[in-house]
Structure 1
């Protein structure tokens, strides 16, 4: 018998004894026969209640479930074993549909102890090999870790159901990533107007603006802002890549050794464009080495959030209405940061793991929106891992290769961190094609699986999905003019360009233009005829200088 039941038994005996004593007193009072009968009945009831409580015990209140923050190396199986529960119970308690995929920094509830599952979920199998991450689509290796079970669509259906019960948390808008630096800016801005998007993303490298500390060259960016402002479009400025003087290592791209240097730069930029720049994205793909090479700051979510904090505070002090968007992460299933030895070189952190780590580091304190780069590779936008579409021979084996799966997984990370109010901004998504370009190198082989019409349909369908979800803000297709202005992305940006290598619009231009203008669904959009532009990029937007 528990201590609580022993106390309850003693209390029951006390109530019965008191009842018997009071009944004896009433029996001596000849004038209260009615009260005596009532007391006898009450005593019988108390006696029965006492006997029942002694036999069965008093139910105790249900305790609040214990919580646990997932650490690197954890699996649901190992957590279940540690807390004497089961994988099935953990998944049910936390609404986890894919038991093979949990996130570092995710907080889960621990259900009451249960007998161990006779058939526990097996550990994931597969191998992961490091690769040199490409600029646009970094995980070029097909040897990424492959989950052993497919993710159920229940998660996104649950989120969609929740979205229908409340007002959307984000204002969806069509956007395009364009490069106006070193171009005929008025001609490119005219193409933006012809396309009809409401937002334009321009990537700016800090290293190209501040060659000497404190001496910032604004002339080129001024002309970009002027041209886009004339067309009345909103501007998202993505700022990345510290100058050499701010870094103790000059290889590849990376953050400054002293994050305060970035804060000072952002203060100058935000002051200059206050009221004109609508949003700033702080850095580009900080989860891979060639974007975050540093002797002072390891690749990781916590260092990135420290940099983000500097940018956020600087911008908000100068221009409180400007939105701050977190860096779009490189979609890569590779994660050699896990269990890496101190001082060992790290090539990448899985973007899902990195995002969960950002939440653990307090990202919502320093951002108005979460950036995402759900590149589609050659997989249709509605597809989920891991069955290849017809003609797709590689880059289908991991969730990271799927547009919709990436969005779902990011939303699941948000949900696990009780964040249903911060919108996702899709700051880069794309399907490339080599149909009108020719043979491709092995690193970009997947663009040969997609033709021009598929590129058009996939892009417009992706926009439609984003518009329907309710938590997606502006979406920026990559890219408008990569064949003419590749910048640091190199020639690979041409595969994704809305304008062909000859300067004529590809079918994707007309498809998106029609979707914006007429709100057509992809299968009703005519994409076979080129669109007439008032100015041809070949004639007017030829690069003046190489970015």
Structure 2
């Protein structure tokens, strides 16, 4: 070897090899652990994925602010996407909603296409496309009524402009924005007024950072500033109708491109950064993203900015935290894995079996609940299509139910999972959390808090490593807290603010809190998750692999210094 660069590379590779050997000697636990950090099923892909995972510390870690209270996260996070507007028969719409409720879902994400409601011209809400003519609201009134009947909450997606809203009709594509964004704001206000007090969650547009969702003509450039303008106009109108409405910024599609023209788009992280610079921070209550796993499972923890996996949501959260929006939640608008059969040529969404899809969706919900307290709702993509005429298209195979209502394995797996008892997971929660069971003299105390008198009890199950209760009390007050059915611990609370902390091992626990004396206001419950131990063999493998990776990268950098980089406007030599 002519210089030290070769020796450095050799040493680095030797350390990587030592790391892999140490990991391999860890026995069967290795492959289980490797799956929990890579989401890879194939053994060789798992080992390669471990090497990628070990490079995570070489990159700046996303800022996630897990201990900040996040709004709108007190309800169950279980959502699913529907295409109810495409079901011609009302009976099929109802059967869909009934099956969704029976499975245990709590949210429906449903499009209310502008082009299907204000069809023929501005202010014209009559559907004259078929005889007999009828109100264009009729179908959507039925959808809202069905959600209410079956105890489901709606996330209404406002998108798909009518042709009349653009001077050139559909020449720029069916999803191109309107010429006048005020026309869209008028439509958003009309929907909100019609369903005031019944629908509280509206998503403004879908995937505005890619084609064709912002137009599909050669000059239809994706435009974060124009989208921000449209978002802000809709936000002001919706809040004027009802301040309780939660305005959700349009789901950002994970993409690596920086070319704003079709068929590309703008990288979702870059797009969001430009939205903030354009003033979007004051124009949404929550942000939505897409949560596709593509070629790896839901446990993939590799942080690689130029790879799309389910972990990409962490980069979006990082941008929000850096711009002071740590208190705002993320809604995962579409979450799924594609069980496309071999005979369909298009594999751009990845390929899994129906059994893997079922397992991955359950694991995804579990990971979100345990690790991402800033996610309010995750919606499976999707329940079913209205017919099977799209069987030759890959996106068709995200469904969890066939068009004839035959359940696929994912439906059965999710139904079993979603019917488990309520549980509180790591994060900062108010007393309005859905897992809490109240008994005795409790009263609402504002901002999600509850005021209890002597004899008041609250019980719940939680997953975590420590429990912290926070609130206020008046005069001489006492609490009794019991964990896992053990002997209760008594706490004398000072007048004013107080906090009680109870450590516990990481796992599933039960808690029972009783007010013994005085008046106690329970405001917040913090569930923490302590770091879980890693075996010595795994630790040695991690350390050796990390050192090897650092040395290897250092050797590559030193080698790069001695080579002339090609100009930016031409590709490197083969």
152, 156, 161: which one aligns with 1:242 = 161
Q: Tell me the equivalent position of 1:270.
A: 192
Q: Tell me the equivalent position of 2:407.
A: 505
* Other structure's SS at 1:374 match: strand
**Cα distance, 1:493 vs structure 2:** 3.6
User: Within 5 A, what are the aligned runs for 1:279-298?
Assistant: 279-293=201-215, 298=221
Q: Tell me the equivalent position of 1:36.
A: none
Return closer, same or farther for 1:494/1:358 CA change in 2, 3 Å cut-off: same
Q: Tell me the equivalent position of 1:3.
A: none
How far apart, CA to CA, are the structure 2 residues paired with 1:222 and 1:378?
A: 39
Q: Tell me the equivalent position of 1:450.
A: 352
* Other structure's SS at 2:84 match: coil
CA contact (8 A) 2:355 2:410 kept: yes
User: Within 5 A, what are the aligned runs for 1:356-371?
Assistant: 356-371=273-288
Q: Which one is further off, 273-282 or 311-320?
A: 311-320
- Over residues 94-123 of structure 1, what are the superposed CA-to-partner deviations in whole Å (9 max), with x where a residue is unaligned? xxxxxxxxxxxxxxxxxxxxxxxxxxxxxx
How far apart, CA to CA, are the structure 2 residues paired with 1:277 and 1:190?
A: 19
Structure 1 unaligned blocks of 5 or more? 1-146, 338-343, 387-396, 522-547
**Cα distance, 1:157 vs structure 2:** 8.4
**Cα distance, 1:289 vs structure 2:** 2.4
1:374 equivalent to 2:374? Answer no
Return closer, same or farther for 1:410/1:248 CA change in 2, 3 Å cut-off: same
Give the structure-1-normalised TM-score.
0.59
Q: Tell me the equivalent position of 1:181.
A: 85
Return closer, same or farther for 1:156/1:495 CA change in 2, 3 Å cut-off: farther
- Over residues 25-61 of structure 1, what are the superposed CA-to-partner deviations in whole Å (9 max), with x where a residue is unaligned? xxxxxxxxxxxxxxxxxxxxxxxxxxxxxxxxxxxxx
**Cα distance, 1:462 vs structure 2:** 1.2
Return closer, same or farther for 1:345/1:426 CA change in 2, 3 Å cut-off: closer
Return closer, same or farther for 1:347/1:303 CA change in 2, 3 Å cut-off: same
421, 425, 429: which one aligns with 2:331 = 425
CA contact (8 A) 2:53 2:301 kept: no
**Cα distance, 1:201 vs structure 2:** 0.5
Q: Tell me the equivalent position of 1:312.
A: 235
1:407 equivalent to 2:326? Answer no
- Over residues 341-383 of structure 1, what are the superposed CA-to-partner deviations in whole Å (9 max), with x where a residue is unaligned? xxx7673111111011111122221111011112111211121
Q: Tell me the equivalent position of 2:124.
A: 215
**Cα distance, 1:415 vs structure 2:** 2.2
Q: Which one is further off, 311-320 or 287-296?
A: 287-296
**Cα distance, 1:513 vs structure 2:** 1.5
Return closer, same or farther for 1:500/1:325 CA change in 2, 3 Å cut-off: same
CA contact (8 A) 1:499 1:509 kept: yes
User: Within 5 A, what are the aligned runs for 1:14-53?
Assistant: none
- Over residues 508-532 of structure 1, what are the superposed CA-to-partner deviations in whole Å (9 max), with x where a residue is unaligned? 11221222111599xxxxxxxxxxx
**Cα distance, 1:467 vs structure 2:** 1.5
Structure 2 unaligned blocks of 5 or more? 1-51, 126-135, 424-574
Larger Rg computed on CA atoms:
1
How far apart, CA to CA, are the structure 2 residues paired with 1:359 and 1:259?
A: 19
Return closer, same or farther for 1:501/1:192 CA change in 2, 3 Å cut-off: closer
Hey, which bits of structure 1, 4+ residues long, moved more than 2 A?
147-159, 165-172, 294-298, 344-347, 397-401, 444-447, 482-487, 489-494, 500-503
**Where is the helix percentage greater, Structure 1 or Structure 2?**
1
Q: Tell me the equivalent position of 1:139.
A: none
CA contact (8 A) 1:494 1:500 kept: no
CA contact (8 A) 1:479 1:493 kept: no
391, 416, 420: which one aligns with 1:514 = 416
Return closer, same or farther for 1:351/1:264 CA change in 2, 3 Å cut-off: same
1:325 equivalent to 2:233? Answer no
Return closer, same or farther for 1:454/1:520 CA change in 2, 3 Å cut-off: farther
User: Within 5 A, what are the aligned runs for 1:74-473?
Assistant: 150-152=55-57, 159=64, 162-163=65-66, 165-169=67-71, 170-171=73-74, 173-183=77-87, 184-211=92-119, 212-216=121-125, 217-249=136-168, 250=170, 251-252=172-173, 253-293=175-215, 298-337=221-260, 347-385=264-302, 399-404=306-311, 406-435=312-341, 439-442=343-346, 444=347, 446-447=349-350, 449-468=351-370, 469-473=372-376
- Over residues 455-497 of structure 1, what are the superposed CA-to-partner deviations in whole Å (9 max), with x where a residue is unaligned? 111111111222122111011110011364889x994442110
- Over residues 113-152 of structure 1, what are the superposed CA-to-partner deviations in whole Å (9 max), with x where a residue is unaligned? xxxxxxxxxxxxxxxxxxxxxxxxxxxxxxxxxx999544
CA contact (8 A) 2:63 2:318 kept: no
How far apart, CA to CA, are the structure 2 residues paired with 1:490 and 1:440?
A: 6
How far apart, CA to CA, are the structure 2 residues paired with 1:376 and 1:173?
A: 18
How far apart, CA to CA, are the structure 1 residues paired with 2:182 and 2:395?
A: 32
CA contact (8 A) 2:63 2:322 kept: no
How far apart, CA to CA, are the structure 1 residues paired with 2:78 and 2:178?
A: 33
- Over residues 217-274 of structure 1, what are the superposed CA-to-partner deviations in whole Å (9 max), with x where a residue is unaligned? 2111111111111111110000112111111331322110100101111111111000
- The aligned length equals 350
Give the structure-2-normalised TM-score.
0.56
385, 404, 407: which one aligns with 1:482 = 385
CA contact (8 A) 1:371 1:426 kept: yes
- Over residues 162-215 of structure 1, what are the superposed CA-to-partner deviations in whole Å (9 max), with x where a residue is unaligned? 42x454543351101111113221111111111111110001221121122211
How far apart, CA to CA, are the structure 1 residues paired with 2:114 and 2:140?
A: 11
RMSD after superposition: 3.0
Return closer, same or farther for 1:155/1:273 CA change in 2, 3 Å cut-off: farther
Q: Comparing both chains, which one has the higher relative contact order based on Cα–Cα distances under 8 Å and sequence gaps of 6 or more?
A: 2
* Other structure's SS at 1:260 match: helix
Return closer, same or farther for 1:206/1:490 CA change in 2, 3 Å cut-off: farther
Q: Tell me the equivalent position of 2:556.
A: none
